[in-house]
Amino acid sequence: MAETVTEAHAGDAFVAAAERALASGDISRISSAELERVMTAAVRLYAAKTEAEGEQPPVTPERVTPTDIVVTVSAMLRAAGMNIWDLSMWFRRGRAD
């Protein structure tokens, strides 16, 4: 299927808005509802691509901090009603050790 310009650059507007909000310190520029909508879509797409194409980096390590990761993962686990034990059961799923 041919990729359209819109699909090729679908994240650009959100990324630019998020970077402006972070740079200005005015994080209220992105509503919580909009952030939830984007995060939900990104998580679902990442999971589908990983299942179909294999594990790939979900973030650019140089652009996020360990705190960013832990805050996000912790909130996602709570939102899904999961805990660290649940996470540990999935952590090595699909890996041959």
Q: What is the rounded average pLDDT of the residues 88-92?
A: 80
| Pair 2, 38 in one domain | yes
| Pair 66, 36 in one domain | no
| Pair 66, 79 in one domain | yes
- For residue 6, pLDDT over 70 is answered with no
Q: What is the mean pLDDT of the chain?
A: 88
Q: Quick one: which of 44, 48, 52, 49 has its CA closest to 76?
A: 44
Full domain range(s) for residue 69: 59-97
| Pair 51, 77 in one domain | no
At 64 the pLDDT is 96
| Pair 41, 1 in one domain | yes
Asked whether the beta carbons of 48 and 41 are under 8 A apart, the reply is no
- For residue 91, pLDDT over 80 is answered with no
The two tokens of residue 20 are 């402006």
The per-residue pLDDT for range 9-53, each reduced to its tens digit, is: 878 999 999 999 999 999 999 999 999 999 999 999 999 999 999
The structural domain count of the chain equals 2
